[in-house]
């Protein structure tokens, strides 16, 4: 096992946003849930966490499963390796603060953030089913329930004037209770600054046309509508079992062909074999005109969701 220790304040400290000369305050402690039916409230120190296995990686960081040694409970520990220009570091901490303050059953919980030897370490809720990346969910009832949960998370975020900007299957996590939660607020700014060329295809694949090409929609970009487009691409991909835009050899293709497909071709549609409710739901998300896309609140009332799918 890789043991993470925090023995002194000089090597590990709780991260905060220092915008004034006032003493910095840590994130408000968020209690760790005790077993069901118990009123016990558990707090922890960083030294009580032990890394177990890497469960994912991306530009600049790795996510590990981690055990809280006093209780044996599992968490996810996202480690963003030391690099950091002050402006980038501050943006990551700001995103972490937003993430920490969100309390919704369909958004992955962020318990705390630490600076350990220059690395930003983020303690997160552990989702034992992994992400929806690569999943094929052709059953519309199952897909309806999954989509309802994602929308519930988006309604909560958008109601708090928070946009995600990177909704994609790898950022939608599921657990053994079939709960689906939106993840990965923290560190997106890092991925954008590390290697924009290598990460551009993956990041662009779920972006709306007007975000990629500013000539579309007269340079106006509504990030809430952008999240809805990304949701539509994700849900259609899950239904079809493949990325729904033009693909080359089953992949997303190069950057040029991908952006041309998103910005210039007609938005993809659900196949004719799908129910009318599902086809209409996807069409409500994948409107080239962002003003015609339904909001998360409106989509939550759509018959595909409220009627629990077409079967």
Query: Same structural domain for residues 163 and 266?
Result: yes
pLDDT-based confidence at 228, cuts 50/70/90?
Answer: very high
**Most confident region among 4-8, 125-129, 210-214 by mean pLDDT:** 125-129
Task: Provide the residue range defining the domain that includes 276.
Answer: 140-306
- pLDDT at position 292 over 80: yes
Q: What is the pLDDT of residue 107?
A: 95
Q: What pLDDT, on the 0 to 100 scale, is given for residue 40?
A: 44
* Marked catalytic residue, from 112, 115, 166, 227: 166
Tell me, yes or no, if 166 is annotated catalytic. yes
Number of alpha carbons in the 13 Å side-chain half-sphere of residue 127: 27
Please name the helix (run of DSSP H) or strand (run of DSSP E) that holds residue 191, with its range, or none: helix 188-194
In a domain, 224, yes or no: yes
Write down the number of H helices and E strands in the chain.
Answer: 10, 8
- pLDDT tens for residues 69-94? 988 999 999 888 776 677 777 777 77
Do the beta carbons of residue 51 and residue 2 sit within 8 Å?
A: yes
Per-residue pLDDT at 62 exceeds 50: yes
Residues 6+ apart with CB under 8 A from 266: 288
Q: Are residues 182 and 251 in the same domain?
A: yes
User: CA angle, corner 129, sides to 123 and 133, nearest 5?
Assistant: 95
Same domain, 296 and 158: yes
Rounded to a whole number of angstroms, the CA Rg of the chain reads 20
pLDDT at 115: 79
Q: 203 and 102, same structural domain?
A: no
Higher pLDDT, 45 or 148: 148
CATH code of 36's domain: 3.30.200.20
pLDDT reported for residue 252: 62
Same domain, 115 and 160: no
* Local confidence band at 293 (pLDDT 50, 70, 90 cut-offs): very high
Q: Tens digit of pLDDT for each residue in 117-136?
A: 778 888 899 999 999 999 99
118-131 core/surface letters (b: 16 or more CB in 10 A; e: else): ebbbbbbbbbeeeb
First to last CA, the chain: 46
Whole-number pLDDT of residue 149: 98
Find out whether 165 and 219 touch, Cβ atoms under 8 Å: no
Residues 28 and 108 in one domain: yes
CA distances 261 to 99, 206, 219, 265, 270, Å, are 33, 12, 19, 5, 16
List strands edge to edge, sheet with 61-68.
12-14, 110-116, 119-125, 73-80, 61-68, 49-58
Coil, helix or strand at residue 300 = helix
Take residue 77 and report the two structure tokens written for it. 């520990």
CATH number at residue 290: 1.10.510.10
Give long-range contacts, CB 8 A cutoff, 24+ apart: 245-251.
Answer: 245/205
Q: Is 204 within the bounds of a domain?
A: yes
Average pLDDT over residues 233-244: 96
């Amino acid at each position: 096992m890789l043991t993470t220790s925090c023995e002194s304040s000089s090597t590990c400290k709780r991260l905060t946003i220092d915008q004034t000369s006032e003493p910095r305050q840590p994130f408000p402690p968020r209690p760790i849930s005790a077993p069901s039916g118990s009123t016990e409230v558990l707090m922890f120190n960083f030294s009580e966490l032990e890394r177990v296995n890497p469960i994912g990686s991306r530009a600049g960081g790795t996510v590990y499963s981690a055990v809280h040694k006093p209780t044996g409970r599992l968490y996810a520990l996202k480690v963003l390796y030391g690099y950091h220009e002050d402006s980038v570091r501050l943006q990551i901490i700001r995103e972490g603060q937003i993430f920490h303050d969100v309390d919704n059953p369909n958004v992955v919980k962020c318990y705390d953030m630490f600076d350990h030897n220059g690395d930003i370490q983020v303690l997160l809720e552990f989702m034992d089913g992994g992400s929806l990346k690569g999943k094929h969910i052709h059953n519309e009832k199952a897909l309806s329930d999954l989509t309802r949960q994602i929308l519930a998370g988006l309604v909560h975020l958008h109601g708090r004037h928070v946009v995600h900007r990177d909704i994609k299957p790898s950022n939608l996590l599921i657990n053994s209770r079939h709960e689906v939660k939106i993840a990965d607020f923290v560190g997106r700014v890092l991925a954008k600054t590390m290697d924009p060329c290598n990460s551009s295809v993956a990041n662009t694949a779920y972006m709306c046309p007007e975000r990629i090409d500013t000539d579309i929609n007269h340079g106006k970009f509504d990030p809430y509508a952008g999240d809805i487009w990304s949701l539509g691409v994700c849900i259609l991909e899950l239904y079809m079992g493949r990325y729904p835009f033009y693909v080359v050899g089953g992949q997303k293709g190069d950057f040029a062909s991908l952006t041309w497909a998103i910005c210039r071709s007609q938005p993809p549609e659900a196949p004719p074999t799908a129910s009318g409710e599902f086809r209409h739901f996807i069409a409500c998300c994948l409107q080239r005109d962002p003003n015609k896309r339904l909001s998360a609140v409106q989509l939550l009332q759509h018959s595909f969701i409220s009627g629990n799918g077409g079967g």
